[in-house]
Structure 1
Amino acid sequence: MTDITITLNGETRELPAASTLADALAANGQPPAAFASAVNGEFVARDARAQTLLAEGDAVFTFQAITGG
């Protein structure tokens, strides 16, 4: 199996092929409920992270979710 290269918050990361967004975030070491996430500028809901496959060159960003009214 080959690896893929992605960027996670601007830093290059190598992951095994067929990695999901959940895999990438777990490898980053942050608690997954503490932030929101996006792949290539598209928001990904927390419950969709395990089904979101990453591909070569994807850009993943995490950010603090802001709520309010």
Structure 2
Amino acid sequence: MFSVEIATFCLLRRKRRRIFLIVHLNGKPAELPAGLTIAGLVEKKGLNPDTVIIEYNYQLVGKEAWPGITLKENDRLEVLRFVGGG
């Protein structure tokens, strides 16, 4: 019985690694679902895509490219918001 519990624990750990990944979001580690795109991240965070720009691994990425970029372990993202004032 003990070996079955260990095997189950190991299987759950393996599955967990596939389900989540760690990226650096605005300089801080963030756990995100695996398979998430930049567009999905913007939606998940409730951001208005018309008021943010994204720097992905030190490169500015246009909004039209967001759906095609799937996040990977240790990616670096900076999300910058436009604010008005005056």
Which bracket does the TM-score occupy, shorter chain normalised? 0.7 to 0.9
Higher-RCO chain (CA-CA 8 Å, sequence separation at least 6): 1
Partner of 2:69: 52
More helix by share: 2
User: Match of 2:79, as an amino acid?
Assistant: T
Runs of 5+ consecutive residues of structure 2 not aligned to the other structure:
1-17
- Choose 19-28 or 54-63, whichever is displaced more: 19-28
Aligned-pair distance for 1:12?
2.1
CA distances 1:4-60 after superposition (whole Å, capped 9, x unpaired): 111211232211111111111222222111011111101111011011111000111
- Normalised TM-score (structure 2): 0.66
Partner of 1:20: 37
| Runs of 4+ off more than 2 Å | none
Q: Which has the higher strand share?
A: 1
Within the candidate set 19, 22, 33, 1:2 is matched to 19
Match of 1:34 in 2: 51
Structure 1: state its 5+ residue gaps. Answer: none
Normalized against structure 1, the TM-score is what?
0.79
